[in-house]
Copies of this chain bind each other. A is one copy, B any other.
Amino acid sequence: MRIFPMAGASDMDVAMNKGDITRQRIIATAAPIFNQRGFAGCSMQDIMEATGLEKGGLYRHFQSKEELATEALSYALARSVRSRTDDLKHIDGALAKLRFAVQRFVETPSLMPGGCPLMNTAIDTDDGNLALRKLAQTGLSNWKKRLAVIVNAGRRSGEIRADVEARQIANTMIATLEGALMISRLEGSKQALLDARISLEVLLNCIAANS
């Protein structure tokens, strides 16, 4: 369709025929619905209404509800993780990068209605649904790795104390932010996120080499 794909084109800018466009539209529409109501709490009827397609139209593109949910989650996780670790390259300094990541999360805790897809899926698939669970595990793993890379870079540059475990910092940051997001959503207030940010600042100050 498109002859000259532009540099920096997103996933949807590649040449697609009509079917692929519809498929992508379904995924983008379904993602927030699954994210809000969970797999069991959301019916294909809901997706039909949201997309304007009928049963036959949906099942042409996805073999089952689970396949659609998997794709939708994949999409949600990709957007979520990316938004949390993007744009860090042009920031100098490991600590500044980490502070920026915290700041970003507190300001925009989730692009997708319904909260963080990673946490939602982790809870929702606690009993079964291994396919979705696997995706969440991978998403978490990626996030942790990206943070750990920053921490280790700081250690090598001498900005961060050498006795700090990157994994521990990554785990703590993610745990505190996700937990705070949960509280925040339950309370309907940003307070918990703001409090988490302060505490994470304290933690980051503690691991700075010159502290």
Name A residues whose Cβ lies closer than 8 Å to a Cβ of B: 36-41, 114-115, 119-120, 122-124, 126-127, 133, 136-137, 140, 165, 167-169, 171-172, 174-180, 182-183, 185-187, 191-192, 195-196, 198-199, 202-203, 206
In the complex, A153 Cα to B137 Cα: how many Å? 40
A126-B115, A177-B179 known; A199 vs B168 contact (CB < 8 Å): yes
The answer to whether B183 touches A140 (Cβ under 8 A) is yes
A199 with B203, Cβ < 8 A, contacts A38-B40, A122-B185, A123-B123 known? yes
Q: How far is the CA of A136 from the CA of B186 in the complex (A)?
A: 8
Across the interface, do B179 and A191 meet the contact criterion of CB distance under 8 Å?
no
Which residues does chain B contribute within 8 Å of A176, judged by CB atoms?
172, 175-176, 179, 196, 199
Interface SS of chain A: helix, strand, loop or mixed? Answer: helix
A164–chain B nearest beta-carbon distance, Å: 10
A36 to B126 alpha-carbon distance, docked (Å): 7
Contact of A165 among B171, B174, B195, B196 (CB under 8 A): B195
Distance to closest chain B CB from A6 (angstroms): 35
Q: Which residues of B contact A182 (CB under 8 A)?
A: 119, 122-123, 175, 178-179
Partner of A123, one of B124, B192, B202, B203: B124
